Amino acid sequence: MNIHKRIQNAALHPKIMPAAQAASLIPLGANVGMSGFTGAGYPKAVPQALAARLSALHAAGQTHASINLWTGASTAPELDGVLAKAHGIQMRLPYQSDPSCRQQINAGQMRYTDMHLSHVAPMARAGFLGTLDVAVVEVVGILPDGRMMASTSVGNNQTWLDLAQHIILEVNLHQNPALEGMHDMAHNMPMPPHGQPIALTHPSERIGTPYLQADLSKVMAVVITDHPDRNSAFDAPNEVSAQIAGHLIDFLQDEVQAGRLPPSLLPLQSGVGNTANAVLAGLNQGPFDQMTAYTEVLQDGMLDMLRSGKLSCASATALSLSPTALAEFNANIDFYRQRIVLRPEEISNHPELIRRLGVIAMNTMIEADIYGNVNSTHIMGSAIMNGIGGSGDFARNARLSIFMSPSVAKGGKISSIVPMVSHHDHTEHDVHIIVTEQGLADLRGLAPTQRARLIVERCAHPSFRPQLLDYMDRAQRSGAGLHTPHLLDEALSWHSRYLKTGQM
Amino acid sequence: MNIHKRIQNAALHPKIMPAAQAASLIPLGANVGMSGFTGAGYPKAVPQALAARLSALHAAGQTHASINLWTGASTAPELDGVLAKAHGIQMRLPYQSDPSCRQQINAGQMRYTDMHLSHVAPMARAGFLGTLDVAVVEVVGILPDGRMMASTSVGNNQTWLDLAQHIILEVNLHQNPALEGMHDMAHNMPMPPHGQPIALTHPSERIGTPYLQADLSKVMAVVITDHPDRNSAFDAPNEVSAQIAGHLIDFLQDEVQAGRLPPSLLPLQSGVGNTANAVLAGLNQGPFDQMTAYTEVLQDGMLDMLRSGKLSCASATALSLSPTALAEFNANIDFYRQRIVLRPEEISNHPELIRRLGVIAMNTMIEADIYGNVNSTHIMGSAIMNGIGGSGDFARNARLSIFMSPSVAKGGKISSIVPMVSHHDHTEHDVHIIVTEQGLADLRGLAPTQRARLIVERCAHPSFRPQLLDYMDRAQRSGAGLHTPHLLDEALSWHSRYLKTGQM
Ligand SMILES: CC(C)(COP(=O)(O)OP(=O)(O)OC[C@H]1O[C@@H](n2cnc3c(N)ncnc32)[C@H](O)[C@@H]1OP(=O)(O)O)[C@@H](O)C(=O)NCCC(=O)NCCS
Ligand SMILES: CC(C)(COP(=O)(O)OP(=O)(O)OC[C@H]1O[C@@H](n2cnc3c(N)ncnc32)[C@H](O)[C@@H]1OP(=O)(O)O)[C@@H](O)C(=O)NCCC(=O)NCCS
């Protein structure tokens, strides 16, 4: 009964079935597009049932039984985790942050196509990624006419529903039906040569309908679940992250003073993680009012800012809330529905909109080099951590592109400022500001050797600064070109030393 | 008389003066925004007079007398060349390709801020690059009401006129007055938070007026010149470039056949250089009709395609035509005016438009690595060649991002496919297709180790292929992470070996 209140389209009732039965309908080797963006809005039951089925097949000798898994971004242990542990994913795109996935990718057992999130839907629609066989999408409910109430993330859901040959819906009774109306879907995005402007000029505006849509004749199963999302809690801001936040807020105040930013700043984008969350906590205490956000994930810090009124509205593609924040969100969902818009990641991360709105992008990095190139994805050049995600969409198109990190990692054995990054995700051209707990380097308009001096002096940890200055000086005296002087035999030696000795 | 026909605004007549006098009005140390994009539409007289003045000052002991030079992109010997030779440029942005500039940058005598061309105008307007003191802009003529007929390139001219405190105009009698009407200026581009959609949906559309505008009270000098643009001639396509063109056209045909591209393709962008021009020559003989171009520079190859009817229209920011092609263009300018739109580089290179139109980007590179990262700018990691220019604007936002190069350089001593590029301009995420005379690698949707095998097998020169395969195999067996396996002690050793021995 409760179930029929959530699934009001009667034609779908006969398709209600257990997760195991639905999972058995997914062909081996299929390209499967699942919902999920961070630990929000991912299917809770079918992936686990699929993992069990694949494990059984492996035990029975079909050792290669697996699927290719496309999602919005990272998901949760009940999706990426179980499928990876079951050796059930042959190829994964466009982003992951799961320990088991990571382990398998770095062991050469899972192929991983790490993509700019704004590229995923257009490339899939263009047929560049192959055919999508099955979509598995969590929804909150289905209206009589078949329109679907989207869940706590949007990601690529509408695109998967459009492209897939077959659809499995998970209706999650645990998700709040009052989410209805918070989403803004863009249907039938016209493809080149028929492209049209996207008519958004403010983070709070809407251009589509609140509902997911699909050709219901493609639905082969409807599965009922009743499970909460699973996002982890954030650490309380520590001294290092508070110092990073402090430098950043000082800088933004200076920009406002100089007339280069309006008093309520410009729409904020914030990466995930503890440092990013600490910066939001700082902004919530800081001097700016009537701020807005145009971001990928909405985490605890932004919810606090909405509640305090510092933030007047936020646009995102997923709610990346800790269990405590999610409870508060659900308790006050009418307040938040007036202030939050959840969009497809193609829209939340679209270069057209990020540039038009003039977003202030604040992302976390693994390391930067003296010239301001940034590595967001790889540990010591070869091993993947998570992926580029939306960081490139925002950094390249932002009004201000800020990257931050503690100046050292692994208890001081690693410097986050190195002669040359071991992997390049964001080039010098896309990095305006670097911040560590040591300070902030404003690189706008500077040439490489000027950037180098500033980054080392402002951002590097004092214990690594002399070696960095020594590298710079010797590179400049080496006879190599003086535009971006490098000693090629030494440029990656810090990483190599760490791999050999456990210390840079 | 002829002069007053070109300068119809009488208020400007008293400001007509010799170039030397105009050049003397430019303050030492000023930020000077000049017109010019490739050897087209740059001021022909004031830079030479300024160079003479600076040389004289240097001789008199003022050894630091110089300016900071902002332009559209590269210019010509009469601008970059003379000022560099006079040691007259302290800092240069956003792009250059002049031998004297290059030499000074690589000698540490000129600072160079190499920027995405689409970033320049917005960053300048936001005040991120400092104050623009003087604009020096070539125009074809001035109407009675002060509106100006733009020249053979647009670049950042309108932005320089808007931002500069003082303006010097060069009216070049040699430029064809029939250029009038070919341009489409975007005036008063609103800045965030007031951004609006850019209403272009086809390369041939217009959104502004054909004229440059300025507050004439800022004009401190008008200088008359009568000199041709100076773009060099292209080499005739050779065997290598013809093979590259052949692979590319085969690929495009396959895409049309597979339904992933329309029969008349999508708007073409083509980098400059001989290889790019050879590809255009190939397309002019090839199977596609009713093509369009949305590109940065319009070179000889595209003019041929317009004339043959293969190309129905072209949008660009500069006419990069050899003297022969320019003569033909001027002889048939009424034909071309109906088919060519010249725009500000902020529009020609805008991510919003490149993505909406679904541009096919075809750029030349210096080298690529096995994972598909591309170096467009640096020789052996440290020395600048030209700069990133618009290649990043197009590669990141294109429907199809293609990079091409001969597989070897310097008579076979250098492999253009290396274990790791010595400088990263375009990361793996922005490179769909790599082409050399050996073949074409289609990297869409592939994971790094798959990309590596394809690039080495299809694109590397046979004389370097075994060493590349050996590097890949040893990296995969080294115990480093298997997502992007690298041997950090060896990754840059090919470049290092070349620097030491003259041979990779
Ligand atoms: C870069 C990124 C990994 C940082 O995440 P974070 O949670 O803030 O960072 P942490 O400091 O906790 O570091 C994560 C791990 O990397 C390690 N690390 C950090 N810096 C390192 C460095 N320079 N070298 C080696 N390891 C490093 C940490 O020690 C930690 O390791 P552990 O998991 O073994 O403890 C994360 O932001 C990311 O994946 N970014 C890419 C995508 C993105 O930017 N998305 C934003 C949305 S638009
Ligand atoms: C990459 C680029 C330099 C290639 O230009 P090109 O004229 O097609 O290339 P060439 O083959 O003539 O090479 C230019 C020089 O680089 C050298 N070169 C080429 N590949 C090399 C390599 N892998 N290693 C070292 N040197 C190399 C050539 O030998 C030549 O040197 P020379 O001038 O001493 O003879 C040029 O396209 C560029 O500057 N691109 C960046 C900007 C851009 O893409 N703009 C497009 C507009 S959107």
ipTM (interface pTM):
0.98
Q: What is the torsional sign of CA A259, A261, A265, A270?
A: negative
pLDDT digits (tens, 9 = 90+) for A415-458: 999 999 999 999 999 999 999 999 999 999 999 999 999 999 99
Gap from CA of B307 to ligand 2 centroid (Å):
28
pLDDT digits (tens, 9 = 90+) for A175-188: 999 999 999 998 88
Question: If you average pLDDT over residues B437-463, what whole number do you get?
Answer: 98
B15 is in an annotated binding site: no
Mean pLDDT of chain B: 97
B336 lines ligand 2 (CB under 6 A): no
Domain residue limits, chain A: 3-225, 239-463
Establish whether domains A3-225 and A239-463 are of one fold.
yes
- pLDDT value of residue B49: 98
Q: How far apart are CA B409 and CA B460, in angstroms?
A: 12
Percent residues over pLDDT 70 in chain A = 100
- pLDDT value of residue B233: 83
Gap from CA of A366 to ligand 1 centroid (Å):
5
Nearest-neighbour CA in chain B from A85: distance (Å): 18
A366 is in an annotated binding site: yes
Q: Is pLDDT above 80 for A2?
A: no
Nearest-neighbour CA in chain B from A289: distance (Å): 15
Question: Strands A400-404 and A433-436: what pairing?
Answer: parallel
Residue B99 at interface with chain A, using a CB cutoff of 8 Å: no
Mean pLDDT of chain A: 97
A85 is in an annotated binding site: no
Residue B367 is a catalytic residue: no
Q: Is pLDDT above 90 for A166?
A: yes
A chain contacts of residue B481, beta-carbon cutoff 8 Å: 105-106, 378-380, 382-384
Q: Which of B78, B170, B255, B296 is catalytic?
A: B296
Q: How far apart are CA B64 and CA B267, in angstroms?
A: 46
Residue A111 at interface with chain B, using a CB cutoff of 8 Å: yes
By the 10 Å C-beta count (0-12 exposed, 13-18 middle, 19+ buried), A103 is classed as middle
| Residues 353-382 (A) with a CB less than 8 A from some CB of B | 355-358, 373, 378-382
Question: If you average pLDDT over residues A369-394, what whole number do you get?
Answer: 98
Select from A120, A201, A488 the residue whose CB has the most chain B CBs within 10 Å, as the one to mutate to test that interface. Answer: A488
Query: In B200-350, which ranges are continuous DSSP H helix?
Result: 239-257, 274-285, 300-308, 323-331, 333-337, 345-348
Residue B425 at interface with chain A, using a CB cutoff of 8 Å: yes
Q: Which atom of ligand 1 is nearest to the CA of A97?
A: 39
pLDDT digits (tens, 9 = 90+) for A388-417: 999 999 999 999 999 999 999 999 999 999
CB B203 within 8 A of CB B357: yes
CATH number, span A239-463: 3.40.1080.10
Q: Is pLDDT above 70 for A1?
A: no
Nearest-neighbour CA in chain A from B31: distance (Å): 12
- For ligand 1, atom 13, name the residue with the nearest CA: A366
Cross-chain CB nearest to A266 (options B192, B258, B489): B192
Contact: B381, A266; criterion CB under 8 Å? no
Q: Is pLDDT above 60 for A476?
A: yes
- pLDDT value of residue B299: 94
A410 is in an annotated binding site: yes
Q: Is pLDDT above 60 for B1?
A: no
pLDDT digits (tens, 9 = 90+) for B50-108: 999 999 999 999 999 999 999 999 999 999 999 999 999 999 999 999 999 999 999 99
Gap from CA of B425 to ligand 2 centroid (Å):
13
- pLDDT value of residue B329: 98
| Number of Cα atoms under 13 Å in the Cβ half of residue B319 | 29
Query: Is the CATH number of domain B3-225 3.90.1150.10?
Result: no
A414 lines ligand 1 (CB under 6 A): yes
Contact: B106, A130; criterion CB under 8 Å? no
**A274 — pLDDT class (breaks 50, 70, 90):** confident
- pLDDT value of residue A232: 83
**B324 — pLDDT class (breaks 50, 70, 90):** very high
Here the tokens at position A166 are 């077959």
**A16 — pLDDT class (breaks 50, 70, 90):** very high
pLDDT digits (tens, 9 = 90+) for B176-199: 999 999 999 988 889 999 999 999
Contact: A128, B445; criterion CB under 8 Å? yes
| Cα distances (angstroms) measured from residue A376 to each of A273, A363, A397, B3 | 13, 9, 17, 58
DSSP class of residue A79? I
pLDDT digits (tens, 9 = 90+) for A138-158: 999 999 999 999 999 999 999
Amino acid letter, residue A26 = I
pLDDT digits (tens, 9 = 90+) for A486-499: 999 999 999 999 99
Gap from CA of B230 to ligand 2 centroid (Å):
20
| Cα distances (angstroms) measured from residue B471 to each of A498, B406, B453, B486 | 21, 21, 11, 8
